[in-house]
Structure 1
């Protein structure tokens, strides 16, 4: 790539950063060259600005993430409201409800999961949420919050890809039924799913607002279906109160 500039060079530089971030051990330049299927000289050209700017550090075993990455992460947390206050809020919510408490931050058009914080209840399994567009958004309560807040174009893109896939017999797979569910969520401010994403799992979620009033995240509780049936009013009040508290913390 000597002499190559522009989007392709930037794209390959980011590929190098991502490959090093994915490694559990230092990654050598030769390993990067194999992964990128390019010359070793090209890899060193890509590594130079990353190391000079502190995004990567060269060690005896290879390259690892540098100090600038943590600075980016702190800025990311500030922009998405993911601070120590959110963590404390989840601990209090779990203590009050004895249920797994989650904070899910959204980005972009609202359907991209930017980060997830979880405080799991004793002995209760944690939901497996990844970063990016979750194809189970229509099945999870936190995803329904995002879909309810998203614009028509974003919802249409979701219906087209990944689409309304069934994950359990209870998953909503009808666009008309989902639209009705999203209208109800916008009216009530609470989303619920009962074994729609996973058998034996029920969730409640409430939206968290940013300074401009848009939905930037949600607070959610993961419980058993029987716990939801017997304590729905208390759980709903708790998750709504926690979401309001998170909104205040972000807008403070």
Structure 2
């Protein structure tokens, strides 16, 4: 592939990551100002390599980005972005997409509100799952054996284990968890789990902000994370249903 071809391939991947689809050949070709013939060749190549899915209607949807594992976190990022932006606008607080990796929470992105006093975390740092709202809801989405295994691996004291079990019970009952004692002093957060088309937990929507403000608007923030995570989960189910009913087909 020529240098220009590589640039176009990267342009295509970046556009799909930033603009949640799916999209058809004509829409992609027009948006990127590329000939349909060249666009189709790139779409076929990316589909064969597992970066895209070709849906029954002929549209293409991003599955993952280079460097992503099988979970396709790039596609999850692309899907979640607009939903998370609306939650940030609705609550006026900071929004994050979180995933659980080996007992720790990793934040994939953040969207900050347009206000002077706000919470901004360093998303390059991971957090112990039992200490943050996103971790609690993702642990709650698993089974009790996995929960006990986490408590054992983390070396939790009896008091810490009891606190975690109580938090998990609250998360399972409400569908979200509000943590008013964040890892960062003065910060608080609420989270709700995202599930894929098979029901497997794949991430969590998190809204965080200054503790006094979140405490004063706990109902609003809790409802926002639950609504947002539910909407993303439903979209993942719809996409999974379209693929399973029609098959991926061939480009």
The two structures share one fold, judged by TM-score above 0.5: yes
Task: Verify: 1:155 aligned to 2:147, yes or no.
Answer: yes
Distance 1:103 1:150, change over 3 A: same
Task: Please report the TM-score for the alignment, with normalisation by the length of structure 2.
Answer: 0.59
> Which consecutive unaligned segments of at least 5 residues does structure 1 have?
1-69, 166-171
Name which structure has the greater RCO, CA cutoff 8 Å, separation 6+: 2
- What are structure 2's unaligned runs of at least 5 residues? 1-63, 240-251
Render the CA deviation track for 1:185-230: whole Å, top value 9, x for unaligned: 1111111111242211010111111111122111010022221222
Q: Distance in 1 between matches of 2:65 and 2:135?
A: 29
CA distance in 2, matches of 1:81, 1:73: 12
Q: Which has more radius of gyration?
A: 1
Shift of 1:162: 2.5
Q: Distance in 1 between matches of 2:162 and 2:100?
A: 24
Deviates more, 1:180-189 or 1:116-125: 116-125
Q: Is the 1:81–1:250 contact (alpha carbons within 8 Å) kept by the matching residues of 2?
A: no
- In structure 2, the partner of 1:92 is 86
- Show the 5 A alignment for 1:139-150: 139-150=131-142
2:112 maps to 1:126: no
1:138 aligns with 2:130: yes
Runs of 4+ in 1 over 6 A off after TM superposition: none
SS in 2 for 1:150: coil
After superposition, the CA RMSD in angstroms is 2.8
Number of aligned residue pairs: give it: 173
Asked whether the equivalents of residues 180 and 188 of structure 2 are also in contact (C-alpha less than 8 Å), the reply is yes
The structural deviation recorded for 1:127 is: 2.5
- The offset of 1:175, in angstroms, is 1.2
1:82 maps to which of 76, 93, 97: 76
Question: What are the within-5 Å matches in structure 2 for residues 175-214 of structure 1?
Answer: 175-214=161-200
Q: What SS does the aligned partner of 1:212 have?
A: coil
How far does residue 88 in structure 1 lie from its aligned partner after superposition?
1.5
